[in-house]
Structure 1
Amino acid sequence: MTGSRPLQTIMMALRCREKRLTCVGNITVSKVPESNMALSVLSIFLGLLLEVSTHGPTGIPRTTWKHQEVNLIQFTETGIFNYSILLLNEDTNVLYVGAREAIFELDMENISVKKNEVFWKVPEEKQTACVLKGKSRETECLNYIRVLQVLNDASLYVCGTYAFQPTCDYLSLQDFKLENKNEDGRGRCAFDPAQSFASVMVDGDLYSGTAFNFLGSEPIIHRSSPQMSLRTEYSISWLNEPSFVFADVIRESKNSPDGDDDKIYFFFTEVSVEYEFVGKLSIPRIARVCKGDLGGQRTLQKKWTSFLKAKLVCSMPELNFVFNVVHDVFILKTPDWKETVIYGVFTSQWGNIGLSAVCAYNMSTVDEVFSKGKYMQKASVEQSHTKWVRYNAMPPSPRPGACINNIDRLQNISDSLRLPDKTLQFIKDHPLMDDQVLPIGNGPKLIRRDVNYTQIVVDRVRALNNNVYDVIFTSTDKGVLQKAIIYDNEVHVVEEIQLFTNFEPIKTLLLSSRGKWLYAGSDAGVVQSPTAFCEKYLSCADCILSRDPYCAWDSEDNSCVVQDHESRKSNLIQNLNGDANVCPRVKYVSSDDYQKIIVKPRNAAELQCQLKSNLAKVVWKLNGTVLSVEDSRYHLLRGDSLLILSVSEQDLGNYECWSEEQVKSSSFAQLVAGFVLSFDLNVPSTTSDPTSTATTTTTPLNPVIQTEGNANTAESTLTSTSPGSTTPTTLPSQTETKLTPTSSTTVQTLWTLPIPISDVPNLETKDPSTEYIKSNNSNALLLLFLLFFILFLALMAYNCYMQFLPPPCLKLRAALLGSNKKAKPEYMACEAGLIEPIVEKTVQIEAHNQNGAQQKGLRDTGYETEPDCSNGKIPTTKHLEEPQESKDKPFDVICESQPIEYADADAPC
């Protein structure tokens, strides 16, 4: 690891396995134990995660709308769950919803209007059989609709899990009833409702990515066709535990000069076969098959001869952080298929790190990888292990995995049944491409922290300047919808909307082709949302600063409207770079229009202000001077509102709440609320508590004004909203007040006025959020400190008395208590237990010690020892009188008869 990069990518970091080699970054460690290897990888990943969390880019939504703040239409049925399949037919203005054991036909303009419904339940005997296989009767052994495709103008093709026995049927649109044909759904629909699944209907043939068996251990990409049904080879090199997320068709045969075929693309995440890791490493994939594929004549019979797959790369190159799990994909199609753009949402598989990314890919790049890229092949290592390496030799002709084109037809190869076995055998052994599909710009379009994206749809919008912009809608696992726009290779998150009140994951997202409505499905129901909330922006400045390509400011009606390309007006204003200087200028506001706040001396007052933009910062002014929040008298509540503690005479005056928002090099200031704080000594106090709080209540304000540079040059009309009304009304002209902008750069002042709901007679109404001001915690803190100090002294005294403390404490104890006890040397108590007391010996030992020498105590070494003897018997006087041998021999064993053969053997005597 060098420089600021924590590692050279996780996938490339662990690519060695020969002789248990482990590569970490650029360092190769040989024969690393698995435990040490896991710790090394964990430490590297934690370091990488710390750097990504610290330096990784983010996208903050400018505006946040709560569920109750916007107009949303919902549909739900009692007892029905899992609304996870949506199908839109804009020709008939119908939205079809597939749920658990039910299919609904709704009005796409208002989904709360139900036109038809049909229920498809599982018979009791099939439920019982499902339960006997170990599944749940209440959840798993039901029929979850997983396929809902248009077969023709008269019928839909539907498939369900059907209690782990996938079944398909036809739904007649004339009477909205099932035809009860009950076809076998294996290979067309998933067994398990929790399994991943993707399908698409192409010219009457159903292409599905699913599992083919009950256990889900045999994944396939299958085509169900009356002419020729095909599937993938059951091999790890073809599909290795895939999780399918999306499938769609790209019409490449239209106006194709080389007679190419249409292709069906599948997107999934699978376990890697080319990279080696301590665990299962996930890799996002894109795979394709040709629509006209008929399988092979001898090799790959009834199998795909055009199946190829490649890796989708979505990473942060500056940090070498890889997003290796794809959750959803949307293909933004164009008349020329080469200009088609693929959008996908990705996360990382390692833990819940809370990072999500959106990456975009050009279809031309995908086609180049499959048509010109290198293949990968297996290579045996030490006869027991297989690695995947690049195949550098020339592939056979025709090119393996390619669709039949005019060049092949000139060689008398009109379909895949005529392909040579050499080409078919090559594609059977080499389905994986070595070249990778890189994203546009070599990095993500959008990265968010603490967000897990689940679904994505993209709309292409033409703005008033005739430029085309991609608007990205992403949903999260918390029921939130986010909208972002790509402008000058930058992403601006316009807004986020809470679609579901219970914060449940959004499982499906559908956008109407007209770009007017967006539909989201979850376990609880379906929500219909407009693609833009232009009417929520009450001023030209907010409308422009939102940078929403759907919205434009109507200068005649003084409202933010959805711009319509068919009936464009000349008075519409739009500027997606966020420069609000294009808005009409309006007149300043007199302080007479500010809200009057009367408070008693030494009381607390709260001035309520709420900024609409998450990108703006709040600035409070008192009589034109910016207040410092570091002053102990002022506190910001909930980030915006101002709390004044113990109002004194110097706190009286005009308070203004400003919203300052930076857009590139320009700064725009907006007056959100204004207050006049004064004393009323004639009003009797309703409370004896000097810390009572006076609060204010304001309605959402109407920002309408903007000027640039010198505020004295602004002249126009000020508009505001009356209580309970959303229609702007004109206020009478007031005396101008000249206020100095808070920024040294070019500042645009955008004025608004607070409109009180009603005159509050009792101005000393208390706010629960300021009740903490009344309490004095100094006495409680002092008592708590004294309690802990007394406990500390008691604990010290007890340890000193029990002689648990060092000698200085014991000397102090002896001096105070008059004890004659002396401090013992360190470890003396421990050594005492190691000394063996003197034991009275037998008469033989006494005879042996004739010189009167005293037997010394033996130190206990933890082993039982005996005096040396010749045969291990009880020692006698004879043995004791024998002279001691020299201690040259091993273990001091006296042995003359036989040598010791082993070092740990008993010495035979």
Structure 2
Amino acid sequence: MAASVLLFLLILGLMNSSDSLPFPTPRISFPLNSADRPLFHFDLVTNTTTLLLSDDGSTLYVGARDALLSLDVSRSDVISLRNKVDWRPSTEEIRKCESKGKNSEVDCPNFVKVLQPLNSTHLFACGSFAYNPHDAIVDIESFSMVPIVGDKSRRCPFNPFQRNTALAIDGELFVATTTDFKGAKPEISRHFSKDGRPDVSQETSVSLLNDPTFIASSLDRTDRKLYFFFSEVGKEFSFTEELRIPRVAQVCKDDVGGLRTLQKKWTSFVKASLLCQFPKQLPFNILQDMFTLPPPGGSTGSDTLFYGVFTSQWSMGQESAVCVFSLQDVKTVFTQSYRSFDKQSHQWSSMLGKHAYLGQCGLNSASDSDLDEVKRSFLTSDGVKSRGNAPVLVSSGQKYSRVAAMRTTAANGRQYTVLYLLTESGFLHKVVLLDGGAKVIEEIQVFTEYQPIKSLVLSASKGVVYIGTSAGVTSVPLAQCSVHRSCSQCVLARDPHCGWSQTGKQCSSLPGNNEKLAQDLESVNVEEACEGESSGALNTEIIVHLNEAVNLTCVKPSKMASVSWTSPRFRPETRNLFIQSADGSLSFLATAVTMGTYHCHAQEGPNKEVVASYDVMQFVNPRSVKSPENHEINEADEAYESIVTEEPQPSGEPDDITEGYEEFPTESPVSSNELDYINSKASDFDLKSSFEGTPGPRNDPHSGVDNNNNDLPHVDTVSVTYSYHRELVVVSLLLVVCVCVLLLGAIHVWRQTKNEKLNRLVGTEDGSETPALSSPEVKVE
């Protein structure tokens, strides 16, 4: 009870320790089916459960739901079907599975759980087969299957969702799995034993394994020992909560058991805990995957490394760690002190001194007393510590499920380790282990929806990673150097597979390139590595109408880079005319004061380069004009009118494109929604139809005038001239109308006046008055 309270206090005291864990931000991210990072899919199979790559790397064997497949992967960019054999339960076997309370569609199909090469001509396969495991031998040439009949051994689990591991060595099969319907009886065993040796399994009188989840297995050919990796409940701790412990177990390949004690049982079985944690922090105690990286050429077998993915039992979010263990450290732990289990008290106690026979091979003739000690003392006192006593990589935002590792030689001849880590959210992370720590070079989206990952196989010879999911098989190239389009970006990628070719002017793959490529993985000195290489982007011409909304895009070359804009149009009084959005693009309305040149800069660390350059010019109708000397302008200039000012300025920009440019402030980027609103408002004031056919400013190489300079007077003069001309026409028309109206009114008044005078004149000649035209007729008597 006291130990339980102590654990609770420890958890409370260290619960916030994960807040300080580093988060590996990928430098570049590629969405699913990106053209820059192509993937190759094979979807004629569902529920891929296990993958096996042939020794020559040309064939990929796939164990799936109710089927075995042979895929041609001789080309790295194509996956094609060679052979397929159906292997499904009968209707009666499905019915029996349902009668045991299992789902016919989810639990009762045959999911292939083991696929191993017994020799050069045959494979061994084992499937869950409607909760009644079946074995078969597969002929590779004909790809036909021969079931194994009469053998009651269980070499794969009943439950298709329960993990297991298997390893075939020289025709013998070593498996770690559960052997009962409920999945409660774990076992590590050897089958198809040769040289007259009996098959062996573990002792059942004591609990060697406690609710284990088997993960992986590996062989040390030097000492002829096998290692099994798993997580289990740690019975050596008296906690109220079941504490999961990651383990490594060892057995001798040629173990035959004892003469009387431990007959046909492992006499060499021992296990130790794996320690993956930061000092004074909670451990990552649940093992998710383990990959064996063989030693480089010329090294001994003890230089073998194990790369494991761990999660934490106490983690509240997506958190995982990668720890690396050396085979030499594993061997050392198994030669030191052990704990002994008391059957009466069910407690573990430390043994005094060392016992040379524990964990050793060749105990078949050992005394019964020694073998009794072996049965009780199989847990080491010390655990295997990770190299550096800390994880090489920790993710607080992604949960890794599988790992593969490889060594590769960089341009400087030094070897680096590259990890390929698959997240549960569907991304493959490529990580390089440098002296300064792990760097996530890139992430590639492999699928969108959550899918249980069953297998991850790396082929260094083909340069691909094969991933088996419920949707099929996906092939991912190990590197895609061509995505880095400049020398600086190629060096900043810090990818040991890639270097910049100065002759080919492209980022090329290593090895296989005889040229010495520019690369600097540790110090990333771009200036030195790319000496003499230009980094400027080509200019893009943008033709727009006046008062049209302009959006200049600038794609960040990496997530680590920040972007900024420079232009001679940026002035303190014009800063409100420009908006830089969150994605780095620059937006403004096309006016006389915003036409000009714009450059987008990306800065990553001390390196800064131009990644986008634009010339924004006004649209005009094409027409031919005469120069004062009666010569026609060149055909290429027909769409523009040459504008000459009193003080022509030299055209062209200085060698340094940032010289004389103002940098646009980027403290308050706007969102895409705000930008859409601004663009919609700008369209309300679009006056481009009013200016069609009107010549606009341009850079005329013949005139010697730079109309992109905001300080030149002709820009405002031309704009004002256009405005006055239009207003003058309108006013003139109104004036003509008014004059006409006045003239008509004057004529009408003049005619009325003339008629009145005439009437008066007629009335005075006979001495009588002339009645008005509207008066009634006068009667004369």
* CA distance in 2: counterparts of 1:352 and 1:224, whole angstroms: 41
Spell out the pairing of 1:411-560 with structure 2 (5 A cutoff): 416-502=363-449, 504-514=451-461, 516-560=463-507
2:614 corresponds to which residue?
675
Q: Evaluate the alpha carbon distance shift between residue 64 and residue 432 of structure 1 in structure 2; reply closer, same or farther with a 3 A threshold.
A: same
2:314 corresponds to which residue?
350
Q: Evaluate the alpha carbon distance shift between residue 647 and residue 95 of structure 1 in structure 2; reply closer, same or farther with a 3 A threshold.
A: same
Kindly provide the amino acid, as one letter, of the partner of residue 335 in structure 2.
Answer: S
Q: Secondary structure at the residue paired with 2:383?
A: coil
* CA distance in 1: counterparts of 2:549 and 2:569, whole angstroms: 21
1:82 corresponds to which residue?
47
1:658 corresponds to which residue?
601
Residues 432-455 of structure 1 deviation map (CA, whole Å, 9 limit, x = unaligned) = 111111111111111112211111
Q: Evaluate the alpha carbon distance shift between residue 427 and residue 557 of structure 1 in structure 2; reply closer, same or farther with a 3 A threshold.
A: same
2:213 corresponds to which residue?
243
1:623 maps to 2:581: no
Give 1:370 shift.
0.5
1:579 maps to 2:542: no
Residues 374-415 of structure 1 deviation map (CA, whole Å, 9 limit, x = unaligned) = 2123469xx9x6443432x1355x4222123xxxxxxxxxxx
* CA distance in 2: counterparts of 1:636 and 1:183, whole angstroms: 74
Check conservation: 1:237, 1:432, Cα contact below 8 A. no
Kindly provide the amino acid, as one letter, of the partner of residue 437 in structure 1.
Answer: V
2:675 corresponds to which residue?
770
Q: Evaluate the alpha carbon distance shift between residue 633 and residue 277 of structure 1 in structure 2; reply closer, same or farther with a 3 A threshold.
A: farther
Give 1:144 shift.
0.6
Q: Secondary structure at the residue paired with 1:535?
A: helix
Give 1:517 shift.
1.8
Check conservation: 1:599, 1:605, Cα contact below 8 A. no
Q: Evaluate the alpha carbon distance shift between residue 571 and residue 564 of structure 1 in structure 2; reply closer, same or farther with a 3 A threshold.
A: same
Q: Paired residue for 1:303, among 258, 261, 265?
A: 265
1:196 corresponds to which residue?
163
Spell out the pairing of 1:49-128 with structure 2 (5 A cutoff): 49-53=15-19, 55-69=20-34, 70-77=37-44, 80-91=45-56, 93-110=58-75, 111-128=78-95
* CA distance in 2: counterparts of 1:619 and 1:115, whole angstroms: 53
Greater RCO between the two (CA within 8 Å, min separation 6)? 2
Spell out the pairing of 1:671-820 with structure 2 (5 A cutoff): 671-677=610-616, 736-739=655-658, 770-773=675-678
Check conservation: 2:487, 2:533, Cα contact below 8 A. no
Q: Evaluate the alpha carbon distance shift between residue 487 and residue 112 of structure 1 in structure 2; reply closer, same or farther with a 3 A threshold.
A: same
Spell out the pairing of 1:263-302 with structure 2 (5 A cutoff): 263-302=225-264
Spell out the pairing of 1:142-161 with structure 2 (5 A cutoff): 142-161=109-128
Kindly provide the amino acid, as one letter, of the partner of residue 485 in structure 2.
Answer: L
* CA distance in 2: counterparts of 1:102 and 1:96, whole angstroms: 11
1:399 corresponds to which residue?
357
Kindly provide the amino acid, as one letter, of the partner of residue 170 in structure 2.
Answer: D
Unaligned runs of 5+ in 1: 1-13, 27-40, 254-261, 405-415, 684-732, 744-766, 777-909
2:189 corresponds to which residue?
222
Check conservation: 1:200, 1:247, Cα contact below 8 A. yes
Q: Evaluate the alpha carbon distance shift between residue 552 and residue 97 of structure 1 in structure 2; reply closer, same or farther with a 3 A threshold.
A: same
Check conservation: 2:602, 2:610, Cα contact below 8 A. yes
Q: Evaluate the alpha carbon distance shift between residue 158 and residue 589 of structure 1 in structure 2; reply closer, same or farther with a 3 A threshold.
A: closer
Q: Evaluate the alpha carbon distance shift between residue 741 and residue 613 of structure 1 in structure 2; reply closer, same or farther with a 3 A threshold.
A: farther
Check conservation: 2:57, 2:73, Cα contact below 8 A. no
* CA distance in 2: counterparts of 1:99 and 1:287, whole angstroms: 29
Q: Secondary structure at the residue paired with 1:771?
A: helix
Q: Evaluate the alpha carbon distance shift between residue 377 and residue 588 of structure 1 in structure 2; reply closer, same or farther with a 3 A threshold.
A: closer
1:363 corresponds to which residue?
327
* CA distance in 1: counterparts of 2:660 and 2:108, whole angstroms: 67
* CA distance in 2: counterparts of 1:92 and 1:470, whole angstroms: 21
Q: Evaluate the alpha carbon distance shift between residue 681 and residue 235 of structure 1 in structure 2; reply closer, same or farther with a 3 A threshold.
A: farther
Give 1:331 shift.
0.8
* CA distance in 2: counterparts of 1:158 and 1:180, whole angstroms: 9
Residues 87-127 of structure 1 deviation map (CA, whole Å, 9 limit, x = unaligned) = 11142721111111111111123452111111111122221
* CA distance in 2: counterparts of 1:519 and 1:626, whole angstroms: 54
2:3 corresponds to which residue?
16
Kindly provide the amino acid, as one letter, of the partner of residue 310 in structure 2.
Answer: F
Q: Secondary structure at the residue paired with 1:322?
A: coil
Q: Secondary structure at the residue paired with 2:3?
A: coil
Kindly provide the amino acid, as one letter, of the partner of residue 609 in structure 2.
Answer: Q
2:764 corresponds to which residue?
none
* CA distance in 1: counterparts of 2:284 and 2:573, whole angstroms: 43
2:340 corresponds to which residue?
377
Q: Secondary structure at the residue paired with 2:439?
A: strand
Q: Evaluate the alpha carbon distance shift between residue 269 and residue 361 of structure 1 in structure 2; reply closer, same or farther with a 3 A threshold.
A: same
Aligned identity (percent) is 32
Q: Secondary structure at the residue paired with 2:323?
A: strand
* CA distance in 1: counterparts of 2:660 and 2:396, whole angstroms: 34
Check conservation: 1:67, 1:500, Cα contact below 8 A. yes
Q: Evaluate the alpha carbon distance shift between residue 523 and residue 627 of structure 1 in structure 2; reply closer, same or farther with a 3 A threshold.
A: farther
Q: Secondary structure at the residue paired with 2:94?
A: helix
1:699 corresponds to which residue?
none
Give 1:203 shift.
1.6
Q: TM-score, normalised by structure 1?
A: 0.65
Check conservation: 1:67, 1:501, Cα contact below 8 A. yes
* CA distance in 2: counterparts of 1:741 and 1:288, whole angstroms: 71
Check conservation: 2:537, 2:610, Cα contact below 8 A. no
Give 1:741 shift.
12
Q: TM-score, normalised by structure 2?
A: 0.75
Greater shift, 574-583 or 169-178, is seen at 574-583
Residues 272-316 of structure 1 deviation map (CA, whole Å, 9 limit, x = unaligned) = 112243422111111110112111222222221111111111112
Q: Secondary structure at the residue paired with 1:770?
A: helix
Give 1:332 shift.
0.6
Q: Evaluate the alpha carbon distance shift between residue 234 and residue 604 of structure 1 in structure 2; reply closer, same or farther with a 3 A threshold.
A: farther
Q: Secondary structure at the residue paired with 1:81?
A: coil
Kindly provide the amino acid, as one letter, of the partner of residue 322 in structure 1.
Answer: P
Residues 5-52 of structure 1 deviation map (CA, whole Å, 9 limit, x = unaligned) = xxxxxxxxx8725xxx645557xxxxxxxxxxxxxx5xx1xx744442
Give 1:653 shift.
4.3
Q: Secondary structure at the residue paired with 2:33?
A: helix
Q: Evaluate the alpha carbon distance shift between residue 680 and residue 181 of structure 1 in structure 2; reply closer, same or farther with a 3 A threshold.
A: closer
Give 1:469 shift.
0.7
1:390 maps to 2:350: yes
Q: Evaluate the alpha carbon distance shift between residue 232 and residue 623 of structure 1 in structure 2; reply closer, same or farther with a 3 A threshold.
A: farther
